[in-house]
Amino acid sequence: MVSSDYRVTQHTMARRTTSNMQRTLSQLQEVQNQISSNKRITKASDDPVGTASALRLRSDVERSDQIDRNLGDAQAWLNTADDTLGAVVSQIHRVRDLAIQSQNGSIAQTEREAIATELDKIREGLIGLANTQYSGRSIFAGTANTAAYDSSGNFLGTSNAVQRTVAPGVRVQINVTGDDVFGPGGNDLFANITALATAVRAGVSNGTDAALVAVDARTTIVQARLAEIGARTRRVETMKERNDTGVISLKQELSAVEDLDLPKALIEAQLRQVAYQAALQTTAKVIQPSLVDFLR
C-alpha cells in the first residue's frame, strides 16, 4: 500500500519559501516601477486591450499635433498677407491723394516733379511689399521658390495655389498670387503708377485721370483679396480652436487609459512592502540551521 505521507525536506521548504519571497518582491518592484513612471501600463502584457487603445490614441494625438502645426503655419502666412495687403491699400490711398493734388492747375512744375518723385518712391515701396516673405518664401509668388517681382515690377512667380491640410481630407488655400492682386504684367498696379507719375510730370490732366481710374480699379481688387484673406484667416482660427479642443480630449482619454491612479498605487505599494517584510521574517524562521551547519 502506497503511503499518503510525503517527506518534506529542509531544502524543499527553503526553495518554496524563497520562490514565494521572490514573487512578492517582483510584485513590489512592479508597483514601484509604475509609481516612478506614473504609468499604469509599462509594457504590453500589463494590459493588452489598454495598450491597443493607447497606441490608437497616440496616433490620433500625433496626427492632431501635425494638423495644429499646419494650422499655425497657415494662420501666420495669412496674417502676414493680411498685414501686407493692408499696407498696400494705405499706399494706394496715398497715390490717389497725390493724383488729386497734382490736378490743381495752380501748382508749379517743381511741385509736379516732387509729386511724381513721391509716386516713384511709392511704386518702389509697393514692389517691396509685393516681395514680402514668410518663413523664407515670398507670399505672392505662388509655388515658385523665388521673389514674386524683380526691381522693375515684372512678375516672377506662378499662379499656383499654396495649400495646407487643416483637417483629415481638408485643405485650405493660404495664398493669393501677385498677378491676381497687383494685376497682369503691363497692366498691373506698378505700371499704373508709372503712367500716373509720367502724366503728372507732363501736366497732362487726361492722362492723370486715366491712370487714376486704373489705380482705383486695382484698389477695388486688392480690397477684395484682403477680404478673402480675412475670411480664410477666420476659418483657420476656428479650425485651430476646434483642433486644440480635440487634442485636449484625446490626451485626457490617453491619460485615462495608461496613467496611474497614484493614491491607489501608493496604498498597494505599502501593502506589497508589508507582504515582503512578512515573507522575509517567515523565511528567516523556516530556513533554520541544519545539522550539517553545526558539523562544519
Say which residues have a Cβ less than 8 Å from residue 279's Cβ, sequence separation at least 6.
17, 20, 21, 24, 25
- Taking only the tens place, the pLDDT of each residue in 226-254 is 999 999 999 999 999 999 999 888 888 87
- Taking only the tens place, the pLDDT of each residue in 44-57 is 676 688 788 878 88
What gap in Å lies between CA 116 and CA 265, rounded to an integer? 80
Question: Which residue, chain included where needed, has cell 551547519?
Answer: 293
Q: What confidence tier does 291 reach under pLDDT thresholds 50, 70, 90?
A: very low
Q: Mark residue 203 as left, alpha or beta (left: phi above 0; alpha: psi -120 to 50; beta: remaining).
A: left
Neighbouring-strand partners of residue 172:
164
Neighbouring-strand partners of residue 138:
133
Residue 216 has pLDDT above 60, yes or no: yes
Mean pLDDT computed over 207-221: 92
Q: What confidence tier does 173 reach under pLDDT thresholds 50, 70, 90?
A: very high
Q: What percent of the chain has pLDDT over 70?
A: 71
Q: What percent of the chain has pLDDT over 90?
A: 56
Q: What is the pLDDT of residue 158?
A: 95
Strand pairing category for 170-173 and 163-167: antiparallel
* Mean model confidence pLDDT for the chain: 83
Residue 273 has pLDDT above 60, yes or no: yes
What gap in Å lies between CA 69 and CA 110, rounded to an integer? 54
Mean pLDDT computed over 257-277: 63
Angle in degrees, CA 166, 172, 175, rounded to 5? 125
- Taking only the tens place, the pLDDT of each residue in 117-137 is 999 999 999 999 999 999 999
- Which range, of 119-123, 174-178, 240-244, 285-289, averages the lowest pLDDT? 285-289
- Taking only the tens place, the pLDDT of each residue in 10-65 is 566 566 666 666 676 666 666 666 656 566 666 667 668 878 887 888 888 899 99
Q: What is the pLDDT of residue 155?
A: 96
Q: What is the pLDDT of residue 241?
A: 92
Mean pLDDT computed over 207-218: 92
Instruction: Name all domains of the chain by residue range, CATH numbers in brackets.
Output: 17-34+261-296 (no CATH), 52-255 (1.20.1330.10)
Question: Which comes out higher in pLDDT, residue 271 or 207?
Answer: 207
Neighbouring-strand partners of residue 167:
170
Mean pLDDT computed over 171-192: 94
Residue 4 has pLDDT above 60, yes or no: no
Strand pairing category for 137-138 and 133-134: antiparallel
Say which residues have a Cβ less than 8 Å from residue 178's Cβ, sequence separation at least 6.
130, 140, 141, 142, 148, 149, 155, 157
Torsion sign across C-alpha atoms 199, 200, 206, 212: positive
